[in-house]
Structure 1
Amino acid sequence: MVTGLEILLLAAVLVAVLVAANIVQTVRPFVINAVVGLVVLFLANFLFGLSVTVTPIALLIVAIGGVPGALVVLVLSLFGIAF
């Protein structure tokens, strides 16, 4: 026999799953952008021989900015301003 507590727990789990799915759907483009930006940074290091020092700050800029962030880090490194 199904009790009210079991129905309440089932409803709570359903709401939690829907909220988690919504969060994942919202965050997915940012994660893809960050991964592509990091790939651009590492390809620039290995393929083109650019000496970009990978620091936590550079990784944070690339992770937040994606490809534009990677380009900013590369340009700053080329001009000797940072990284």
Structure 2
Amino acid sequence: MTGLEILVLIAVLIGVLVAAVLVRALAPFIVNAVVGLVVLFLSHVVFGLSIAVTPVVLVIVGLGGILGAAAVILFALFGVAFVP
């Protein structure tokens, strides 16, 4: 192995480690977002609620999960926000 190959190998290993740390850090937010969006979808299918899915809604649901989805649903029901 030449010095360049060793350098590239070290760079790839560092990149893989950084990616693994980022995935571990973001996994709870991804799970929250998916669960929250499923709750919003089910509220639309079961109850016929119409909620505008905007970037703000996605941030609230992503950070809050089920509680964030409940807050968005309540705001939409009372006509405060997120009404299409």
Kindly state the Cα deviation for residue 48 of structure 1 after the two structures are TM-superposed: 1.6
Kindly state the Cα deviation for residue 39 of structure 1 after the two structures are TM-superposed: 0.4
Kindly state the Cα deviation for residue 26 of structure 1 after the two structures are TM-superposed: 1.1
Residue of structure 2 equivalent to 1:74: 73
Structure 1: distance between partners of 2:5 and 2:45: 56
Structure 2: segments with no counterpart, 5+ residues: none
TM-score normalised by L of structure 2:
0.84
Which of these two proteins has the greater Rg computed from alpha carbons?
Answer: 1
Structure 1: segments with no counterpart, 5+ residues: none
Residue of structure 1 equivalent to 2:35: 36
Residue of structure 2 equivalent to 1:54: 52
Structure 2: distance between partners of 1:55 and 1:21: 30
User: Given residue 59 of structure 2, which amino acid in structure 1 is its aligned partner?
Assistant: L
Structure 2: distance between partners of 1:3 and 1:79: 67
TM-score normalised by L of structure 1:
0.85
User: Taking every aligned residue pair, what percent have the same amino acid on both sides?
Assistant: 56
Structure 2: distance between partners of 1:72 and 1:54: 13
Structure 1: distance between partners of 2:12 and 2:47: 50
Kindly state the Cα deviation for residue 42 of structure 1 after the two structures are TM-superposed: 0.8
Kindly state the Cα deviation for residue 29 of structure 1 after the two structures are TM-superposed: 1.0
Deviates more, 1:19-28 or 1:56-65: 56-65
